[in-house]
Structure 1
Amino acid sequence: MPSHTFHVMHADGPVADDAAGTRVGGLPLLPPGTPWPRCADDSCRRNLAFMGQIDLSGTGPAAPAEASAEVSVSVEERNGSVLALFHCLDWCVQTGTMYGSSHAAFLFPCAGLVATEPPGGSEGPLDREGDRMVLPAAGIAVTPIEVEPSDDPDDPEDDPPVSFYQGRDAWVDREGHPYADFLGQWAGAPTWIQDDDTPECAACGHGMDFVAQFNSSDRHYRPVYFGDYGYGYVFACEPCGTAAFHVQD
């Protein structure tokens, strides 16, 4: 049975808080004047934490921290889109799939974006557990690996041909990388914990394109945490400029 290519998203070292490219943490790059999103849960309504961004412009991972001055120029010149991802560190909604209540995704054209601090600045505010809303930025690299698909027709991990679990295990066990550095999957097909919950674009009514699936990692990368066994799913419809960020646990 032929192998399949699985694109691993993994940590790629610290970067500047305002770096272009795909990363977790730091400051979001937003159009000037964009209001900071709040948790939609009526019992919370606190400012969401910035989880990270996904660069859809094709420029690759974030630049090293010392290159932030050059990055500021390149942001103005790039084409394409950037996905900004936010979620509530207080975990207001804890059941099943969460639609934009304690999570939010925004798709913006790359040109003209500026690094934006949350209300209160980079040193605040705090969430209820005392965590900072602005967390250290780490670049995300994408590395393709070949994974043998399951040959067991009854294996629940056999759909898609190479599941998130198989790709993760191949990266950690076969390739010998630290589990903590595995941040998720780029492109391909999502592996759902529960039912398939691919969102429809509110503008065109078509199913959104799958962009990435994030692994929950509270040990090293605090922004990327969806409970002990949760995953974050990112979708976009670039022609319409819409995006969605779902979590299943």
Structure 2
Amino acid sequence: MRVGFARVQETSLLSGGRIQAQCRMARSSSLACCHVTSPRGQWTAGAVRGSPYSPRMSITLLIHEGSTAPYAPVTRMGGLPLAPAGTAWPVCATCSGHLQFIAQLVLEEARGTVAVFMCANDPGLCEEWSTTAGGNRAFLFPAGGLIPLPRPNGEAVLELGAVRGVERVEMPGQDYWDAAPAWAARAGRSTGEVLGQLGGNPYWLQNDETPDCPGCEQPMAFTAQLEEGPESRTAPNFGSGSAYVFTCEPCRRAAFGWQC
């Protein structure tokens, strides 16, 4: 079952531990999770009650616009990373295997380039959904001076099965989960071609999990929400859920995690 952009407003009577266990089972078995309420009823699925995020008058959607070059210096899903010279390909803190490159986000006003990696060696076993467990890595690189990051020798494929170029489309409204189907209806295309949003407010599928910056210990800024894309065979594995990217520009740090 793919949740997609259909809202699932079911009230869960499960405890927090059972909710997390079910989600981990789905992650490890490549099944989709349902949207759930928080264990203590603090948030309805996707809501941001009590969070520091503020309403916006428009949503910047990331729309699949076809394939692009694997080293293109643009916002894209897949391909191969651009990084400063001397950067080492990141490894998983649990299995010590090299991470799979997921996405590159070029921030506006030359604020930097975010590179996102996630462990795909043993899906569900390396806590790759967590922003802190080490099963993924995100980096905030400078806007310029980046070069293709060399692949580690003798490694299996470290990139996704397709390179998806991205078009930024502004949609009126304050709710990402409403803006995506509204765009699809207007464009006559599938919501599966919505690859996420840039900036704005996160649409949480579970609790608000905004991480604190390990440098300054302040909440990190929400930077992007990512979706798996139109084809599961070439997509990252977010358990049919959504991924979230955060940055702390003063500390030049980034974080990544996902929920389902």
- 1:133 is aligned, of 133, 158, 165, to 158
Structure 1 residues 96, 196: CA separation in 2 closer, same or farther (over 3 Å shift)? Answer: farther
Matched, 1:6 2:59: yes
- Give, as a single letter, the amino acid of the residue that structure 2 aligns with 1:47: H
Q: Could you list the runs of 5+ residues in structure 1 that have no partner in the other structure?
A: 59-78, 127-131, 148-160
CA positional deviation for 1:208? 1.1
- After TM superposition, the score normalised by the length of structure 2 is 0.70
CA positional deviation for 1:96? 9.8
Instruction: Determine the C-alpha separation between the residues in 2 that align with 1:13 and 1:207.
Output: 35
Mapping of 1:1-249 within 5 angstroms? 4-41=57-94, 44-58=95-109, 79-89=110-120, 90-93=122-125, 98-100=130-132, 101-120=134-153, 125-126=155-156, 132-135=157-160, 136-147=162-173, 161-162=174-175, 164-217=176-229, 219=231, 222-228=234-240, 230-249=241-260
Instruction: Determine the C-alpha separation between the residues in 1 that align with 2:65 and 2:215.
Output: 35
Identity %: 35
**SS at structure 2 position matched to 1:39:** coil
Q: Could you list the runs of 5+ residues in structure 2 that have no partner in the other structure?
A: 1-55
- After TM superposition, the score normalised by the length of structure 1 is 0.73
**Residue deviations 1:124-173, cap 9 Å, x none?**
633xxxxx3234422211101124xxxxxxxxxxxxx41x3212221223
- Give, as a single letter, the amino acid of the residue that structure 2 aligns with 1:29: L
CA RMSD of aligned residues (A): 2.5
- Alignment size in residue pairs: 203
- Give, as a single letter, the amino acid of the residue that structure 2 aligns with 1:11: H
Instruction: Determine the C-alpha separation between the residues in 2 that align with 1:206 and 1:109.
Output: 21
**SS at structure 1 position matched to 2:182:** helix
CA contact (8 A) 1:218 1:225 kept: no
Instruction: Determine the C-alpha separation between the residues in 1 that align with 2:217 and 2:251.
Output: 10
Instruction: Determine the C-alpha separation between the residues in 2 that align with 1:220 and 1:25.
Output: 13
